[in-house]
Structure 1
C-alpha cells in the first residue's frame, strides 16, 4: 500500500509536465519536473523495481508507475522533436545555413553528465552617479581577446524585485562564448514606474559606450536580453527608439502586450498579475490606459524593428504564452527578422537549469541568434 501511495503521488506530480500548475508553489515544482526530469524518473523507477519485492497491490502500482514514467519522459521526447527541426528552422528565419555545423540543440547526455565550466569573475560597476543599489551592473568580460560584442541582461521579478545576480549561468556561458555580458540593475516598482526602468537601461548602455575602450566593447554590437518583466523592459528599450549599435533583442517569456495582459489576468493562486501591472504602470487600465499602451512593446514594432528572438513555454502560468504569439504575428506582418522558439512542455523560468530540455534548446537558440546578429 505504501508503494502504491508513493507511486500515486509521483503520478500526480508528473502531471505538471503536461498541465499548467494551478498554484504558485506547484509552479515552482513544475520547473523541477520538466527541467530536472531525471530526478523524478529515477525515483519512479526505484518505486517500480520495489514492486518485485512486495506483491501487495503490485499490478496496480506497476501499471500506474509505467504511466508515470511515460509522462515524466514526455518533456525529453518533445525536446527531441523540437531539436530535430530547430537548426533548419533557425536557418530559414535568420537567413543562414549552419544546420550542418554538428552542434546539437539537445542531448540526453548533457542532462545526465556534469560539464563544469569555469565561472567568469564579474565586477560590479556603477553606471549612474548616485548611491542607489539599482545604479550598478555586473560585468562579465568575454573570454576571448579583442573588441567583443556586449549582451545587456535585464532581470525579471515582476518589476518590483530581483537583481543583477539572477540566473548567472547563461551570463557565464555567453562570456565563454566570446561576449561581454552586462547584467543590469534598475529602479523597482512601485516606487519607480515605467518608463524609469527603460531609461535605466539606456543609461547603462551609455556608460558601456563611454568606457568601451577600457572594457574592450565593440559598440556597434549590442544585444538586449530580458527575462519575464525584464523582457518587457528589453523589448520596449529596443523598439521604442533607435538605439545606436543595437543589433537585436532576446525575449524570454516576456509580456509584450500590456493592454491585452491586463484584460486576461493570471490565475490569482499563482500571481495577482493585475496588481503587479498596476504597481508598475500607476493604476488600473481604466484609470491610466495611455500608460498601458505606451509600455506595450508590440505597439512599437514596425519594419525598422531590430531582429528578435522570442522564447516561451506553452505551460507558462505567470506570463501568458499568448503574449509571444501576438508578438510573433506582429513581427511577421511587419517583415522583421525574428525567430519564435516555442516549448510545448515548459513553464515560466524553465531556463533555471541550462542542462534541462528547455534550458538546452533555449541556450542553443541564444547562441545561434547572437552569432547571426553580431557578425
Structure 2
C-alpha cells in the first residue's frame, strides 16, 4: 500500500478519544470558569497546550473540536481546553486575563497534573486565536514558548474597516460586542485587542494556519501578521491552504485537518525544549527549515 493510500484510509478512520477531567480553574465574584484536562499519555512532567475555542467572542465552549486534544495527548502533551468570559457582558481584555488565571492554576497544580511549567503553548481558533495571540504577545510569560493561530483576526482595526459580506455575517456587529462599541466610539479598544499591534522582537514563535477561501475571517489578517512577524525577526511559519474555508479542521482526518495537524505537531517539537519521544530526525529537521 502506498503512502497516498494510507492518507486516504486515514480520512475514514475515527481517532480514539482520551478521557478528560473538568476542573474549576478560577472563581470570580460573579462566575467560575472551568477547563477540560486531557492528560499526556507519556509518563513524567510534560509540556502543556492551552486551547482557546472560537465562537465570535460570544458563544462556544471548551468542548469544541476535542479530536486534536486527544491526538496531542497521545503524542505526549498535556492539553487543557478552557472556557473564558464572553461578550457582550465581558469585554477585552477579560479573556486574556482568564488565560493568565489558567496559567496560574496550572502552575499551582503542576505536580498533580504532571505539567512542565516552563513549557506552555497557546492554541486558538477564530476568535479564540485572537485571544491566544493577544495573550502570547502581551502577558510576557516566560513559560509560553509559542502560539498557534488557526484563522484568527489578528488586526481588529483593519478588520473593522473592511467588513465581511453581510449575506455571510454581520462582522461589524460581532466585533463591536467584544471591544464594547464601534471603532468611532472606542478606537483605542480596537488597537488594544489587535495582536498585530503587540508584535515585537521579543514575541514568541508563531504558527499561522489559514484557508484562502475563508469568508468569515479574511485571509488578509494572516498576511498582515506574517509580515509583522517577519519584520521583527520572529520565528514563524504560515501554513497556507488555498481552497480551505473557515473551520476546515473540524474534520481532523480530512485533507485540511491532516495538513494542519502535521504542522502543529512539527511546530510543537520545534518550540518545546522537552519534546515527546518518538518521531524521526528528518521530520524535526523539516520543521526547523520551515521556521
TM-score between both structures, scaled by the size of structure 2: 0.90
Correspondent of 1:243 among 122, 141, 155: 141
The answer as to whether partners of 1:134 and 1:187 remain within 8 angstroms in 2 is no
Q: 1:123 to 1:132 in 2, by over 3 A?
A: farther
Correspondent of 2:207 among 309, 320, 331: 309
Please list every run of 5 or more consecutive structure 2 residues that lacks an aligned counterpart in the other structure.
274-291
How much has 1:355 moved relative to structure 2?
1.4
Does residue 1:328 correspond to 2:223, yes or no?
A: no
Q: 1:332 to 1:134 in 2, by over 3 A?
A: farther
The answer as to whether partners of 1:134 and 1:186 remain within 8 angstroms in 2 is no
Does residue 1:343 correspond to 2:256, yes or no?
A: no
Correspondent of 1:258 among 156, 160, 170: 156
How much has 1:353 moved relative to structure 2?
0.8
What does the per-residue CA deviation read over 1:88-117, in whole Å, with 9 as the maximum and x for residues that have no partner? Answer: xxxxxxxxxxxxxxxx7xx45333444443
Correspondent of 1:219 among 117, 123, 136: 117
Does residue 1:110 correspond to 2:7, yes or no?
A: yes
Residue of structure 1 in register with 2:285 after alignment: none
SS in 2 for 1:191: coil
Please list every run of 5 or more consecutive structure 1 residues that lacks an aligned counterpart in the other structure.
1-103
How much has 1:269 moved relative to structure 2?
1.1
Residue correspondence of structure 1 range 170-209 to structure 2 within 5 A:
170-209=68-107
Q: Name the CA distance, whole Å, in 2 between partners of 1:131 and 1:365.
A: 40
* Rg (Cα) greater in structure: 1
How much has 1:357 moved relative to structure 2?
1.3
The answer as to whether partners of 1:134 and 1:185 remain within 8 angstroms in 2 is no
The answer as to whether partners of 2:91 and 2:179 remain within 8 angstroms in 1 is yes
The answer as to whether partners of 1:228 and 1:252 remain within 8 angstroms in 2 is yes
Query: Please, what is the CA RMSD of the aligned residues?
Result: 1.4
The answer as to whether partners of 1:227 and 1:251 remain within 8 angstroms in 2 is yes
Greater relative contact order (CA < 8 Å, ≥ 6 in sequence): 1
What does the per-residue CA deviation read over 1:93-150, in whole Å, with 9 as the maximum and x for residues that have no partner? Answer: xxxxxxxxxxx7xx45333444443311000000012587760000000000000000
Q: Name the CA distance, whole Å, in 2 between partners of 1:226 and 1:286.
A: 28
Aligned length: 270
Q: 1:342 to 1:108 in 2, by over 3 A?
A: farther
Q: Name the CA distance, whole Å, in 1 between partners of 2:54 and 2:32.
A: 14
Q: 1:344 to 1:133 in 2, by over 3 A?
A: farther
The answer as to whether partners of 1:222 and 1:247 remain within 8 angstroms in 2 is yes
Could you list the runs of 4 or more consecutive aligned residues of structure 1 that deviate by over 6 angstroms after TM superposition? none
Q: Name the CA distance, whole Å, in 1 between partners of 2:72 and 2:189.
A: 34
Q: Name the CA distance, whole Å, in 1 between partners of 2:246 and 2:113.
A: 33
In proportion to residue count, which structure has more strand?
Answer: 2
How much has 1:356 moved relative to structure 2?
1.3
Does residue 1:280 correspond to 2:181, yes or no?
A: no
SS in 1 for 2:135: helix
The answer as to whether partners of 2:15 and 2:67 remain within 8 angstroms in 1 is no
SS in 2 for 1:316: coil
Q: 1:175 to 1:242 in 2, by over 3 A?
A: same
In proportion to residue count, which structure has more helix?
Answer: 1
How much has 1:268 moved relative to structure 2?
1.0
Q: Name the CA distance, whole Å, in 2 between partners of 1:121 and 1:356.
A: 23
Does residue 1:129 correspond to 2:30, yes or no?
A: no
The answer as to whether partners of 2:100 and 2:139 remain within 8 angstroms in 1 is no
